[in-house]
């Protein structure tokens, strides 16, 4: 029902907690047309916007500031990669390159993040600079969202947190580097990315799961969550830095039309889980598997020795692998992020707004 036309207006459903009319001012600041929005009995807030975007540039809905200047296709982007994935200023250049890839593919990028406790969908250039340069940003997963808001924190959002926020804002296509999953030797340390993928019916483009993980258990966890794992022009579940893992995908799609058809079937059937499109790192940016495996083994051993736990595990392992492999892993990371952004843009453009 997303995006259906109604009397010349596009009907956008924003999932909200039940609101009453006296709360509208707080929930829908920025919408200037009385009578153009309506609150249903079920608590679904229906926001009607004209087909031509004449709405104020930012809209505050359900505690989020939405700054998306289009009624066309949009791709959500995460920000943990900015705050915890890549060093400054590489991260800034990369965000701008990634956003450009989305635009070139015919969609509009919307980077999600939290600045001084405000949840923002579609960070402006200046806001991205603030986030990238924040002295001690928080890594915000699903469970951290209320705390980040309460404490007025500045935070990069993980795949799980970004999915929740983007979905609430009405976005359905999302690009990232690699998802979190099940950690090696710690089968109960399962990223909330996995459960989020089971909960939000979005299309998520990635290069598989982070190679530091137990990829075989991660595949099993995705199955449990009902996530359809698609290989884009591949039969193998990619391993982030490298194109192969020895594990299979659920279905192979060789072009964007096929992916769009699969997404439409999922939506028609009202399945609740994400479609995870796995796009292997471009061959010219791939990290040789032997180099990658050696660096990961060393990083894991050191992390065990240092007793690193909880949310620090993923960023510290990735940072160590990056130190050990130098330019090579950075090249892979940058290459795959751009390629995923492009593919997500193409899928969003094909699906339409
Ligand atoms: N990329 C990085 N470092 C990170 C992440 C990405 O280089 O920390 C984030 C991703 O956003 C991913 C999350 O969603 O780490 C997974 O962390 P965890 O295993 O704690 O859920
Ligand atoms: Mn964890």
Catalytic residues: 78, 210
User: 297 C-alpha to center of ligand 1: Å?
Assistant: 19
Please check the confidence at residue 156 and state whether its pLDDT lies above 90: yes
Q: Both 233 and 318 in a single domain?
A: yes
Q: Both 74 and 32 in a single domain?
A: no
* Mutation test residue for ligand 1: of 79, 193, 207, the one with most atoms within 8 Å of CB: 193
Q: Both 215 and 290 in a single domain?
A: yes
Q: Both 182 and 132 in a single domain?
A: yes
Domain that holds residue 41: 1-49
Residue 39, pLDDT score: 34
Q: Both 191 and 271 in a single domain?
A: yes
Distance CA 43, CA 71 (A): 24
pLDDT, tens only, 58-105: 888 888 999 998 889 999 999 999 999 998 889 999 999 999 999 999
Ligand 1 binding pocket includes 180 (Cβ within 6 Å): yes
Atom of ligand 1 nearest to the CA of 157: 11
Q: Both 201 and 322 in a single domain?
A: yes
Please check the confidence at residue 54 and state whether its pLDDT lies above 50: no
What is the pTM (predicted TM-score) of this model? 0.86
Atom of ligand 1 nearest to the CA of 159: 14
Higher pLDDT, 252 or 56: 252
Higher pLDDT, 268 or 19: 268
Atom of ligand 1 nearest to the CA of 161: 14
Residue 46, pLDDT score: 45
Kind and range of the H or E element at 338?
A: helix 327-351
Ligand 1 binding pocket includes 162 (Cβ within 6 Å): no
Mean pLDDT of all residues in 305-319: 93
Q: 127 with 137: CB under 8 angstroms?
A: no
> What phi-psi label fits residue 219: left (phi over 0), alpha (psi between -120 and 50 degrees) or beta?
alpha
Longest Cα–Cα distance in the chain:
64
Mean pLDDT of all residues in 33-54: 37
> What phi-psi label fits residue 171: left (phi over 0), alpha (psi between -120 and 50 degrees) or beta?
beta
Q: Both 151 and 251 in a single domain?
A: yes
- The sign of the CA dihedral 273, 279, 285, 286 is positive
Q: Both 126 and 7 in a single domain?
A: no
Q: Both 319 and 203 in a single domain?
A: yes
Ligand 1 binding pocket includes 311 (Cβ within 6 Å): yes
Q: Between helices 289-306 and 327-351, what is the axis angle to 10°?
A: 100
Residue 62, pLDDT score: 83
- Mark which of 11, 34, 49 sits at the end of a domain: 49
Q: 299 with 239: CB under 8 angstroms?
A: no
Our count of domains for the chain comes to: 2
Atom of ligand 1 nearest to the CA of 141: 21
Helix (H, G, I), strand (E, B) or coil at 265: helix
Ligand 1 binding pocket includes 191 (Cβ within 6 Å): yes
User: 153 C-alpha to center of ligand 1: Å?
Assistant: 18
Tokens 């258990």 correspond to 217
Residue 61, pLDDT score: 83
Ligand 1 binding pocket includes 101 (Cβ within 6 Å): no
Q: Specify which residues 118 forms β-bridges with.
A: 115
User: 297 C-alpha to center of ligand 2: Å?
Assistant: 18
Please check the confidence at residue 38 and state whether its pLDDT lies above 80: no
- Mark which of 31, 49, 67 sits at the end of a domain: 49
Distance CA 130, CA 267 (A): 37
Which numbered ligand comes closest to the C-alpha of 141? 1
Q: Both 20 and 72 in a single domain?
A: no
Which structure tokens are listed for 249? 């995908």
Residue 23, pLDDT score: 30
pLDDT, tens only, 239-298: 999 999 999 999 999 999 999 999 999 999 999 999 999 999 999 999 988 999 999 999
CATH number at residue 236: 3.40.1790.10
- Mark which of 27, 49, 71 sits at the end of a domain: 49
Distance CA 231, CA 255 (A): 10
User: 188 C-alpha to center of ligand 2: Å?
Assistant: 8
Q: How many residues does the chain have?
A: 353
Ligand 1 binding pocket includes 79 (Cβ within 6 Å): no
Q: Both 169 and 28 in a single domain?
A: no
User: 29 C-alpha to center of ligand 1: Å?
Assistant: 33
- The sign of the CA dihedral 293, 295, 296, 298 is positive
Q: Both 165 and 302 in a single domain?
A: yes
User: 41 C-alpha to center of ligand 2: Å?
Assistant: 38
The percent of residues in the chain predicted with pLDDT above 90, rounded, is 78
Three-class HEC string of 6-32:
ECCEEEEEECCCCCCHHHHHHHCECCC
Q: 155 with 144: CB under 8 angstroms?
A: yes
Nearest CA to ligand 1 atom 7: 85
Which numbered ligand comes closest to the C-alpha of 160? 1
């Amino acid at each position: 029902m997303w995006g259906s036309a109604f009397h010349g207006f596009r009907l956008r459903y924003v999932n909200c907690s039940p609101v009453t009319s006296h709360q509208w001012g707080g929930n829908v600041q920025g919408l200037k047309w009385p009578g153009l929005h309506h609150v249903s009995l079920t608590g679904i807030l229906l926001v009607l916007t004209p087909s031509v975007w004449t709405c104020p540039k930012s809209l505050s809905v359900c505690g989020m500031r939405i700054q998306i200047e289009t009624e066309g296709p949009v791709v959500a982007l995460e920000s943990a990669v900015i705050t915890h994935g890549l060093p400054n200023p590489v991260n800034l250049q990369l965000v701008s390159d990634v956003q450009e890839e989305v635009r070139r593919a015919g969609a509009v990028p919307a980077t999600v993040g939290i600045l001084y406790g405000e949840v923002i969908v579609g960070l402006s250039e200046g806001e991205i600079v603030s986030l990238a340069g924040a002295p001690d940003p928080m890594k915000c997963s699903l469970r951290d969202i209320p705390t980040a808001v309460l404490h007025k924190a500045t935070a990069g959002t993980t795949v799980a947190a970004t999915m929740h926020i983007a979905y609430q804002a009405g976005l359905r296509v999302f690009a990232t580097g690699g998802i979190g999953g099940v950690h090696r030797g710690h089968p109960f340390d399962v990223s909330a990315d996995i459960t989020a993928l089971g909960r939000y019916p979005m299309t998520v483009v990635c290069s598989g799961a982070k190679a530091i993980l137990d990829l075989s258990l991660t595949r099993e966890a995705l199955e449990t969550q009902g996530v359809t794992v698609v290989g884009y022009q591949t039969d193998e579940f990619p391993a982030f830095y490298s194109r192969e893992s020895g594990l299979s995908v659920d279905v192979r799609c060789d072009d964007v039309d096929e992916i769009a058809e699969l997404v439409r079937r999922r939506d028609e059937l009202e399945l609740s889980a994400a479609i995870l499109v796995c796009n292997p790192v471009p061959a010219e940016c791939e990290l040789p598997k032997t180099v990658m495996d050696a660096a990961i083994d060393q990083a894991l051993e050191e992390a065990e020795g240092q007793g690193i736990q909880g949310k620090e595990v993923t960023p510290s392992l990735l940072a160590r692998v990056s130190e050990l492999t130098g330019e090579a892993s950075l090249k892979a990371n940058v290459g795959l992020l751009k390629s995923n952004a492009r593919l997500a843009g193409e899928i969003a453009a094909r699906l339409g707004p």
